Amino acid sequence: MAFALIAAFSTLANTFWVMLSTQRAELVENALQTNEAYAARVADSLQGVLTSDLDRLRYAADSIGESFSDQRSLRKEAYRLLRQDRSFNSVLIADADGKVVVSAPGSMRLEGQLLQNRLPLSKREPMISDAFQSLADHLVVFVSHPVFDRNKHYLGLVGGSIRLQQKNTIQALMDQNVREDGAYIFLVDSQRRILYHPDPKRIDEVLIGSSLVDAALAHSNGSMQALNESGNEVLAGYARIPSSNWVVVSQQPLASIQASLEATAKRVAKGVAPLGLFGLLMVWWIGRKISVPLSLLAENAKRLDAPASYERISAIPADYIESWQIRRALLLAANLLQEKIGRLNLQAQSDPLTGLTNRRGMDETIGLWQETLRSFAVISVDIDHFKAVNDTYGHGAGDETLREVARLMKQASRPDDLVCRLGGEEFALLLPNSSISVAKEVAERLRAVVASAQFETVGHITISLGVALWKTGEPVTATFEKADQLLYRAKALGRNRVVCDNLNLQIAG
């Protein structure tokens, strides 16, 4: 009886622990992916702002290169840049020796002074600097573009400063990305100096010895669990801005995950405790009479997370009402746990934005098809000029476009086909037991549907498609590479078309 009591209690505890461990791992992984995606989205937005600033300076450099000796023209161009869209707090034009020729606004009185940051003079190329103290004693970043005359002689540079400790375009963009539950984003330059932080007092602070910042500067994009500068564990994602080598970091406290997990544990405990107590009392009451079926139940209850647990427990004989009730309780617990594991597996195999199967789910399905020697066709799909959609209409419109394309792909596919999103604007459509001609027809139907569809905000878009067939004995990776190569050929031939494997068949929209 003592052994039966211990076994029953251990089974309940093991079930509870397995469920919480699985959910904790899933919550941590989702938080890391979310923070990485959030940092990447903000980095893309900042890249767009800085690129736009460089384009304006390039236009100004081309303009003043023809009249660099005309003080009046230089001053007019400097004030035009300053007032154009308020991107810069100040604008200056310097000659090849670094002497300031014109500055705006005039209250700065910088004419005749030498530039403090002379790196742009030596490199003679468009640059976005790290933070430094300006001639006017402000913490700034300096965006500059070289000036050449029509004979390509270097004349100097034109540049704009962004004051980090005052209201500026970078701060305005970052302030739009407000996080909750203790999560926040910050921006650092390549020298580990904070350029933006929700706490303005931390701007200009240099983060030395931060493993998170070290990892962010060493890699373009990624995520990790680490200690922040306050010594607290955080789940963070990071992304680099290519034009400036700055890094955006999005992080949230690990404690927020723990709080959610604890709340779940309490709810589960309240639901499991009464049933567990009832089972233990029943074991104590009937004693030896139920030792054999109870031993079987306890043994199988230790493996509630196994796929066949429900069938094994159902096969245990229940010759009296008490053993039947305990078996029923374990079957209910096994069913609930399998449903939870099933939901977690579905989430792990689905793309959170479009609901399509992700790469992990696709690989598992392909593995099953290979085991049954089931041939299939691969249609590789890519949205044409999708970067222009994000740049023109914003990432919100881009995400909506991806969801709509996913819907159209489901609509154009057959019931047994597998529709996948592989990342970004890249999709794949897998057609089991399909010939290349059938796959071509499906691909062309999909291309025509997308080309004729009216997308909210962005209007009309097109897609390019490559079609290849997997045959038994051929590496699956080779088939996907072939479909990708055909896709790239479709793009090279003008986009909005289907290119098939057999006889290099092409269908243009």
Q: What are the tens digits of pLDDT across the range 447-491? A: 999 999 999 888 999 999 999 998 877 888 899 999 999 999 999
Bridge pairing between strands 246-253 and 100-104: unpaired
pLDDT above 80 (res 405): yes
Q: What is the largest CA-CA distance in the chain?
A: 107
| Active-site annotation holds for 425 | yes
Choose among 157, 61, 142, 34: nearest CA to 100: 157
Which positions ≥6 away from 117 have C-beta within 8 Å?
129, 132, 142
Q: Which pLDDT score, from 0 to 100, does residue 17 have?
A: 78
448 in Cβ contact with 465 (< 8 Å):
no
Q: Which pLDDT score, from 0 to 100, does residue 500 have?
A: 92
pLDDT above 50 (res 506): no
pLDDT above 60 (res 49): yes
pLDDT above 70 (res 231): yes
Higher-confidence residue of 434 and 304: namely 434
Q: 507: pLDDT confidence band, cut at 50, 70 and 90? A: very low
Counting Cα atoms < 13 Å in the Cβ hemisphere of 415 gives 0
210 in Cβ contact with 194 (< 8 Å):
no
Residue with structure tokens 């990447």?
A: 40
Cβ of 109: how many Cβ atoms within 10 Å? 12
Q: What tokens does 199 get?
A: 């706490």
Q: 508: pLDDT confidence band, cut at 50, 70 and 90? A: very low
Sheet holding 221-227, edge to edge: 194-196, 184-188, 246-253, 233-241, 221-227
Q: Which of 425, 426, 441, 456 is catalytic?
A: 425
Higher-confidence residue of 381 and 11: namely 381
pLDDT mean across residues, the chain: 83
132 SS3 class: strand
Query: Is the pTM higher than 0.95?
Result: no
169 in Cβ contact with 97 (< 8 Å):
no
| Alpha-carbon distance values, 394 to 388, 390, 401, 426 (Å) | 9, 5, 11, 18
Domain locations in the chain as residue ranges = 2-25+266-348, 359-508
DSSP assignments along 202-213, one per residue: GTT-B--S-HHH
Selection from 195-199, 277-281, 340-344, 486-490 with the highest mean pLDDT:
486-490
Which positions ≥6 away from 299 have C-beta within 8 Å?
7
Choose among 458, 437, 453: nearest CA to 496: 453
Q: Across-strand partners of 193?
A: 206
154 in Cβ contact with 148 (< 8 Å):
yes
Q: Which pLDDT score, from 0 to 100, does residue 138 have?
A: 83
**First CA to last CA across the chain, in angstroms?**
76
Question: Which range is least confidently modeled, 56-65, 314-323, 391-400?
Answer: 314-323
| 359-508: CATH number | 3.30.70.270
Q: Across-strand partners of 147?
A: 156
Cβ of 15: how many Cβ atoms within 10 Å? 23
pLDDT > 90: percent of the chain:
27
Higher-confidence residue of 178 and 368: namely 368
CA distance 495 to 482: 17
Residues written for the chain: 509
Q: Which pLDDT score, from 0 to 100, does residue 370 have?
A: 79
| Tens digit of each residue's pLDDT (9 = 90 or more) over 329-384 | 766 665 665 555 455 455 556 888 888 988 888 888 888 887 776 789 999 999 99
Q: 145: pLDDT confidence band, cut at 50, 70 and 90? A: very high
Q: Which pLDDT score, from 0 to 100, does residue 373 have?
A: 64
| Tens digit of each residue's pLDDT (9 = 90 or more) over 286-342 | 666 666 677 766 666 656 555 666 677 676 776 667 776 676 776 666 566 555 545
User: Which run of H or of E encompasses 340?
Assistant: helix 321-348
